[in-house]
Amino acid sequence: MGEIQPIRLVIVTGLSGAGKTQAIRCLEDLGFFCVDNLPPMLIPKITELCQQSLGKVNRVALVMDVRGTLFFDSLGEELRKLSEQGIKYELLFLEASDAVLVRRYKESRRQHPLEEDRSVLDAIRSERERLEELRGAANIILDTTELTVHDLKRKLKEKFSDQDNGALFTVTLISFGYKYGIPLDADLVMDVRFLPNPNYVDELKNCTGQDQRVVEYLFEHEETKSFLRLYSDLLLFLLPLYINEGKTHLVVAIGCTGGQHRSVVLTESLAEILEREGYHLFVHHRDLPRAKVDRS
């Protein structure tokens, strides 16, 4: 049994409209257990539950801001308690210029948490003053004034990603049958109906692509080998580019007529190649349960 890793605790706070929602989504994609708008006095309970998980939950991000009204004022005291207990944490503070925050609120048509009977700008200035001490205590400050969503995700990945965590980038490979429809969540769709069809071979008709006889039949044909080589090269070229763009999950769908033979074989073959290259994979044969399988 390996050594249990210490909890990595990130407290996310900052100005309303500065990007905390996008930040918590990104941290969740990076494998953090995330809680939004948590009252600060519950921090000890969360850390206790994580410690009881015996290492299963060791990356936690908690968002706390002025939406917590009176509860939020206790954040400074709770952080001091963590330090006294020897619990390490990182304080991430997000901010942006007044002009950008006003524009974001105008565009979203949402009310600032401190707006009440005053202007958005006055509410922003009041919040900035209220958070001044927290900002001074933060060890990571991100100004999102000039950042796009992709820029913010990239910066967060640089600071908080854990390559060994396995959650940084995931590829889902789905085999499917065109006669049942294309998967709605597919990012890339490849039609392999041009390959030889085992359905027209009597002894293979009621088998599936998980049967070695079907695999051998398809790879007896040069076009299957050539396609697998070319398409896997294309994916290996594309995946790093998607990662650089800030994407954390890519769904690749491989389709044949019924989702029983060709798409299953090619999906399994691609999975072997991508696994050898170190990618984190999920494989799903969507329409395989519909197949009439030869049990003999």
pLDDT at residue 162, as a whole number: 63
Q: Residue 168: what pLDDT?
A: 59
- 94-116 burial code (b ≥16 CB/10 A, e <16): bbbeeebbbebbeeeeeebbbbe
pLDDT at 166: 42
pLDDT of residue 296: 41
Sequence-distant (6+) residues with CB within 8 A of 161 are 30, 168
**Is 54 buried (19+), middle (13-18) or exposed (0-12) by CB count in 10 A?**
exposed
Q: Which domains does the chain have, with CATH numbers?
A: 8-165 (3.40.50.300), 170-290 (no CATH)
- At 3 the pLDDT is 54
Contacts of 224 by beta carbon, 8 Å cutoff, 6+ apart: 195, 196, 218, 265, 266
pLDDT at 249: 82
* pLDDT < 50 regions, the chain: 1-2, 164-167, 294-296
| Per-residue pLDDT at 112 | 87
Residue 189, judged by CB atoms within 10 A of its CB (0-12, 13-18, 19+), counts as middle
